[in-house]
Amino acid sequence: MPAFEMKQCLILGATSGIGRGIATELIKSGRAEKVIITGRREEKLQEVQKELGGESKCVTYVNDISELEKIPDFVKKVTSEHPDLDFVLVVSGLQRGADFTKPSEGVDLKTLDYELTVNYSSQVHLATAFLPFLQEKSKSQQVTLGFTGSVLGIVPMSRCANYCATKAATHQFLLGLRKQLTKPFPNLKLLEILPPSTESELHDSHNQKDLSYDDKGQPDNVMPLKDFVKEVMEAFDQGETEIAPGAAKKIVNTVESARKEVLDSFP
């Protein structure tokens, strides 16, 4: 399978962690000519832009994917201003805990609904909005639509059950979407990255009190971001469409082989 083509890459959720790490490496390694990054925090976007060499290498948009009604206009704006866009990767996500042993005090349903919107509903809305542009472009070149899931969407962790469910929903959606699109649009790659516990704000106790591990801010078994990005880049170079770095690889390979065998038998 050929490697990904990355003339201009859009990364949604690139102000920190995985998104920022991938955007940085794409430019520094020369894999991409330009990255377009989004996030809710303008000051962080400007910080990344400066690090990557200014507007010639990095274009920024303030955007909140939880605002579902704004997604079509955002996609129209980005694709009209960057018609050479050929690689879209959605990294934005959040993780919250919920203690269902004490539902009256340990479960905030508004928070869990918001988690569902960010981690799943927005992904469906973004796919729907980007696909017409990417499908048309794929008639003459290779293009990519990618999403960041989680190994917890394959095997859940009890302390953040709702998060795991949202990532499982996204994973199932992408399996079905890939099967729908492969034959009619062979030049459109559907990518999914399935991280293990990775160094990022997602696991930082200073940002996520309800999932804090200890005063260090990160769990002991977290995968260093630099190692995660290195494996993702190597997978990009190989043209892999399902990327499970580090400890996630064994879990995904073990669980998914039987699922995919059944999936392949479906019409």
Give yes or no for residue 220 having a pLDDT over 80.
Answer: no
Report the first-to-last Cα separation within the chain, whole angstroms.
Answer: 24
Residue 212 has pLDDT above 90, yes or no: no
- Rounded to 10 degrees, what is the CA torsion of 47, 50, 52, 57? 120
Confidence of residue 9 (pLDDT cuts 50, 70, 90): very high
Instruction: Tell me which H or E stretch contains 230.
Output: helix 225-238
> Given pLDDT bands bounded at 50, 70 and 90, which one contains residue 1?
very low
Answer yes or no: is pLDDT of 184 > 70: yes
Chain-wide mean pLDDT for the chain? 90
pLDDT at 262: 86
What mean pLDDT is predicted for residues 230-255? Answer: 92
How much is the average pLDDT of 75-103?
A: 94
Give the mean model confidence (pLDDT) for residues 11-17: 94
Percent of the chain residues topping a pLDDT of 90: 75
pLDDT tens string 130-171? 999 999 999 999 999 999 999 999 999 998 999 999 999 999
Q: Does 32 have pLDDT greater than 60? A: yes
What's the whole-number mean pLDDT along residues 48-56? 94
Verdict on whether the full-model pTM lies above 0.85: yes
> What element of type H or E holds 225?
helix 225-238
pLDDT top residue among 114 and 253: 114
- Indicate the burial class of 172 (C-beta count within 10 angstroms; 0-12, 13-18, 19 or more): middle
Higher pLDDT, 50 or 259: 50
Tell me how far CA of residue 76 lies from CA of 33, 60, 133, 180, 202, in angstroms: 22, 15, 9, 24, 29
Fold of 8-265: Rossmann fold (3.40.50)
Three-state DSSP class for residue 34: strand
